[in-house]
Amino acid sequence: MREVDRRRKYDRRVFLQGAATTVPAVAVATSTGIGFTDAWADDAAALTPATLKTLVKIARDIYPHDFLADSYYSIAIKGWDAKAAKDPAVKAMITDGVARLDQNARERHKVSYAEVAWEADRVALLQGIEQSDFFQKVRGDLIVSLYNQKEVWPKFGYEGSSAEHGGYINRGFADIDWLPKA
């Protein structure tokens, strides 16, 4: 009996055709300034896209996790746009806080906060406004909005709630694998 290899085989011609269409599209997107990661900020209701992008950078600097993508931080930030649309005081606090942070960054580094290259420099700027209501509000809200995303839990090793599975006695209590078995 003869075995037939059903895997698709690509030849050089198919590869070159795909590359010939991909490379120009990427070149046009990068030369026109179209950012694939910035599209989420364009549909903001109350805050400007620049403010939202700065808030994502602030969130990443307050709670830095290199293994988390910016998409998780942007989801955490999106709630503030809705709050700012409902309450003018929240909108003023956020826009004034970001403006103050940008001003401090321009005085020290000649660029806006989001454009400061080194994380240590951005953290020093955040430490300068650490006692402000803006910083405290952002830091406090991020605890819930970032870490309460179910998609983030597995990245930290958290399996989720155990109540619906009988509690931790039945799920997770005896998961210790680093002790030798007696």
- Residue whose structure tokens are 């400007």: 48
Computed over every residue of the chain, the mean pLDDT equals 82
Closest by CA position to 72, among listed 117, 40, 30, 109? 40
Those residues with Cβ within 8 angstroms of residue 51's Cβ, 6 or more apart along the chain or in another chain: 44, 94, 95, 98
Closest by CA position to 114, among listed 72, 70, 82? 70
Would you state the pLDDT for residue 146?
Answer: 95
Average the pLDDT over each of 61-65, 132-136, 169-173 and give the range with the smallest value: 169-173
How far is the C-alpha of 35 from the C-alpha of 16, rounded, in Å? 26
If you ran DSSP here, which 8-state letter would residue 93 be given?
A: H
Average the pLDDT over each of 5-14, 55-64, 171-180 and give the range with the smallest value: 5-14
Task: Enter the pTM of the model.
Answer: 0.71
Those residues with Cβ within 8 angstroms of residue 106's Cβ, 6 or more apart along the chain or in another chain: 112
Percentage of residues in the chain having pLDDT higher than 90? 55
Would you state the pLDDT for residue 5?
Answer: 55
Q: Is 3 helix (H, G, I), strand (E, B) or coil?
A: coil
Indicate whether 111 pLDDT > 80.
yes
If you ran DSSP here, which 8-state letter would residue 38 be given?
A: S
Category of 131 on φ-ψ map: left (φ > 0), alpha (ψ -120 to 50) or beta: alpha
Domain ranges of the chain: 10-34, 44-159
**Cβ-contact 134, 104 below 8 angstroms:** no
Indicate whether 34 pLDDT > 50.
no
| pLDDT tens for each residue of 43-84 | 777 899 999 999 999 999 999 999 999 999 999 999 898 899
